[in-house]
Structure 1
Amino acid sequence: KRTMDGKLVLEARADEESGCRVGCRGQVSGRSEPASDGDRLKRTTSGRSGSRSPSRQKVFKTKPRGFDEEVVASFSRIVHLDIQMEDSIWAFLPEDLLNEILARVPPFVLFKLRSVCKRWNSIISDVGFIKFHGRVPSHGPCLLAFWKNLQTPQCSVFSLPLKTWYKLPFSFLPEWAFLLVGSSGGLVCFSGLDGLCFKTVVCNPLTQTWRALPTMHHNQQRHLILVVDREDRSFKVIATSDIYAERTLPTEVYDSKSNSWSLHQVMPAVNLCSSKIAFCDSRIYLEALSPPGLMMYRLDTGYWEHIPVKFPKSLLDGYLVAGTYKRLFLVGRIGMYSTHQSMRIWELDHSNTVWVEIGRMPQRLFKSLLRLSAERFECFGQDNLICFTSWNQGKGLLYDIDRKAWSWIAGCVLQSWSSQVTFYEPRFDASIY
């Protein structure tokens, strides 16, 4: 907008949609301040036994000796100040310099700036802008939540760098696309039943472009994995097995370049656990009950391999989570009785074929996430970040493996029982063709 003296003012304000608290990481503070609505910094740090100063936070022992202490943070929303810009400088920028600047603007903020002029309104379809946007670093990890409100598709994205929820219009997809499969490289995959036909669609939520995939050779509801190759400007969708594991089907791989499905080796496992599946380092990992261990599918060779790894004892439920490079994590709930349960995180030692415990959820966070012992939770991850959600909670719990930091993510979209959430990387240059 313009002020009284004619200066151009760009406002970057947080989305008013959430109206909820947002969790993020922070610096350790030696001061003690009264907490209000969870907006104050809460940390769990190591301390000495005996008397402690009132200015220090209480010590919570959450991990066995030898582990680094967990860190818990809860922050309020960031308030973005208005920035005044001189017309004489910004109105006559060269085209390439303007594209370079706009390419570094967060994608969700750029949507709000499209009303400035006609040029900016069509910026996301400009070839020059897309070229610059593909060169700049990624905006950072986000959470994409999808649900249907009175049969109307709704989509909101939580930006971890900006700590804000943003609503995206999502009425461009077919009505049958209601199951969120996952996300990779800026693209999002959905599936659903169109009558009796199982269909799959891949889209870019920012550009609202989508592509319905052809029917598979075995038209049955399957486990699907979306893999994007940015250098090759292509993507693949891998169908592993039917969701109930009643019988083993041939592995099918869709290639966007050929726009077709190809048949591959039949998975040798008899029984699979549907919730334990992950993709990392060009490999798909699934938990197999018979034979016990992991089944690994190599995308480059198209063959399955069995990894005879034993899972932790007393594992009630859990998920396989992909980390960076070759890191594979197992996140699960341990306990023999309803009153003695804990959430733990293991990492696969590929050389010794064994699960190594690397962290535990603090008990007070565990009780806050799962108020009932039999309550179900969901877990997914990306780039050494793990997000926990439960059906009866209106917020998610985020864990940074590298920093060993826990943070709550609140938002109205997480309060819907039908919300489906996944990690998402917003990119304008992610193409479906």
Structure 2
Amino acid sequence: MVVGIEIGEPSDCGSRDLMTQLSYFGGGARNTSPIGRGVRNISPSRQKVIKTKPRGLDEEIVSTKFAKSPQFDVQMEDDIWAMLPEDLLNEILARVPPFMIFRLRSVCKRWNSILQDNGFLKFHSQVPSHGPCLLTYWKNSQSQSPQCSVFSLPLKQWYKIPFTFLPQWAFWLVGSSGGLVCFSGLDGSTFRTLICNPLTQTCRILPSMHYNQQRQLTMVVDRKQRSFKIIAANDLYGDKSLPTEVYDSELNRWSVHQRMPAVNLCSSKMAFCDSRLYLETLSPLGLMMYRLDTGYWEHIPAKFPRSLLDGYLIAGTKKRLFLVGRVGLYSTLQSMRIWELDHAKVMWVEVTRMPPRYFRSLLRLSAERFECFGQDNLILFTSWNQGKGLLYDVDKKVWSWIAGCALQLYNSQVCFYEPRFDALVY
């Protein structure tokens, strides 16, 4: 099932009358909306409730047996339902999963303009988050058009979101925070950055940095202040030591801060935790920490676990900082482990180990490369030769596989994503 989406407000880098489509990733989707489904008036004594989870939702499907007595449809009075108070309607719709809103917009003109309604956005900003999602981004090998698919962890379903509103130079997926997604790329010889909201199809190109160089970036969103900041550390490949630059959306400009001390970085991956940015370093051994409040760098002598082959820093909730990596010298002795930084003792404490059966399924070769991402104490593992990802819930201590066509592409980029209509790019 394909549902049309009308985009109300134009973006700075998109067309004004853009018509896009939102569809299930894969085949046609089943219409689960109660509207038009024809709910019949069945006697409670003849109902049998079967609880199923076809898409991760706790749903109740009512099944009935044929009865001799005639059944009558329930007639819904249009005059009554049409007079539903505006506030009550917005409060109900604000609790509908974001991806389902697009299907409901085709009901009437009133619902079609719901995304431009300030009352709806106000209620939407106050309800709990839909839950974490995985956003995969890649470019078509033939047309070079941007492609995006989102996997909803609560709904256990893939959705395809059009990304034609992005400029061609938006190549690198920086990350996501608070419903916004950040991209960077080379526009000719100029390194540019933009932020966007995939749900509202709006984006904004940020001003140029003081130093025109491909940079390592991370984005932080403050929902209470309705603002965001982007931190640009060293250059992308760690060859040049450049002054740290910070973009503030409230000031709409980049500010120059302290240059990172000369270090040998382990990886260009960064983790932002408790208003601090962390990077792994080989010499001196430990972590480089950038304090966003002061604008200064400092070194933390946290030694890495022995026999660590490759590692990633993952930011968790409540000031938790994780180190995820593969250890072992030989293929038969390798394993994947997760550590947490003890800030008081400045040492890594082991949290868990990946079960051997998952490790063998994820990495078939000892030298195979893997990627790791995290958000809200969720850690995702992906490898180039696998068409699936492995998710670990730190709080629940549960391992689970996530499959999908989007994870099978060798050039796809992945990050965690929180879908929100009220995330503004201004």
Give the structure-2-normalised TM-score.
Answer: 0.83
1:1-400 pair list within 5 angstroms: 16-18=24-26, 77-78=55-56, 86-88=76-78, 89-149=80-140, 150=142, 151-400=144-393
For 1:404 and 1:81, the matched residues in 2 are separated by 28
Q: Deviations over 1:272-300 (max 9, x none)?
A: 12344100111100011221110111111
- CA contact under 8 A between 2:56 and 2:154: conserved in structure 1? no
CA distance in structure 1 between the aligned counterparts of 2:169 and 2:391, rounded to whole angstroms: 31
Q: Which moved more, 1:295-304 or 1:273-282?
A: 273-282
Q: Matched residue of 1:131: which SS?
A: helix
- Cα separation, 2, equivalents of 1:251 and 1:16: 41
16 and 216 in structure 1: CA distance in 2 versus 1, 3 angstrom threshold: closer
Percent identity of paired positions between Structure 1 and Structure 2: 74
Q: CA 1:15–1:164 in 2, change beyond 3 Å: closer, same or farther?
A: farther
- Asked if 1 retains the 8 angstrom alpha-carbon contact of 2:24 and 2:160, the reply is no
* Post-superposition offset of 1:338: 2.2
What is the root-mean-square deviation in Å for CA atoms of aligned residues? 2.0
Shift of 1:82: 7.9
8 Å contact kept, 1:269–1:291:
no
Amino acid of the structure 2 residue aligned with 1:120? W
CA distance in 1, matches of 2:281, 2:323: 14
Letter in 2 for 1:107: P
Cα offsets for 1:170-220 (capped at 9, x unmatched) = 100111001100000000000011111111010011111111011111111
Any idea what SS the aligned residue of 1:421 has? strand
Query: What do the CA deviations read for 1:370-407 (whole angstroms, capped 9, x no partner)?
Result: 11111100001001000001111111100000111000
Q: What TM-score do the two structures reach when normalised by structure 1?
A: 0.81
Q: Is the 8 A contact 1:277 1:284 kept in 2?
A: yes
SS at match of 1:207: coil
Alpha-carbon spacing, 1:243–1:95, altered in 2? closer, same or farther (3 Å): same
SS of residue paired to 1:165:
strand
Is the contact made by 1:277 and 1:285 (CA closer than 8 Å) also made in structure 2?
yes
Change in Cα spacing, 1:275 to 1:397, as seen in structure 2 (3 Å) is farther
The one-letter code of the counterpart of 1:262 is: S
CA distance in 2 between counterparts of 1:225 and 1:85 reads 54
- Please list the CA deviations of residues 4-50 of structure 1 after superposition, one character each: whole Å capped at 9, or x if unmatched: xxxxxxxxxx9642469xxxxxxxxxxxxxxxxxxxxxxxxxxxxxx
Residue 111 (structure 1) shift? 1.1
Task: Report the Cα offset of residue 81 of structure 1.
Answer: 6.8
- 8 Å CA contact 1:247–1:270 kept in 2: the answer is no
With over 3 angstroms needed to count, the CA separation of the structure-2 counterparts of 1:111 and 1:290, relative to structure 1, is same
* Cα distance in 1 between the residues matched to 2:75 and 2:23: 22
For 1:387 and 1:170, how far apart are their aligned partners in 2? 24
Bigger Cα displacement from structure 2, 320-329 vs 141-150: 141-150
- Residue 350 and residue 19 in structure 1: after superposition, are their counterparts in 2 closer, same or farther (change >3 A)? farther
* 1:113 aligned partner, one-letter code: L
Q: After superposition, give the CA deviation of every residue in 1:52-75 in whole Å (9 maximum; x if it has no partner).
A: xxxxxxxxxxxxxxxxxxxxxxx9
Q: CA deviation at 1:76?
A: 6.6
Q: 1: distance between equivalents of 2:178 and 2:54?
A: 29
1:275·1:319 contact (CA, 8 Å) conserved in 2? no
Q: Is the 8 A contact 2:134 2:150 kept in 1?
A: yes
Structure 1: 4+ residue segments shifted above 3 A: 75-90
Post-superposition offset of 1:257: 1.3
Tell whether the 8 Å contact from 1:234 to 1:256 is kept in structure 2 after alignment: yes
Contact 1:369–1:390 at 8 Å: present in 2 too? yes
Cα contact 2:387–2:405 (8 A) shared by 1: yes
Question: d(CA) in 2 for partners of 1:362 and 1:208?
Answer: 41
Residue of structure 2 equivalent to 1:421: 414
Change over 3 Å in CA distance of 1:143–1:91 after alignment to 2:
same
Change (3 A) 1:148 1:87: farther
Count of residues paired in the alignment:
366
| 8 Å CA contact 1:188, 1:205 repeated in 2 | yes
The answer (yes or no) to whether the contact 2:236–2:268 under 8 Å persists in 1 is no
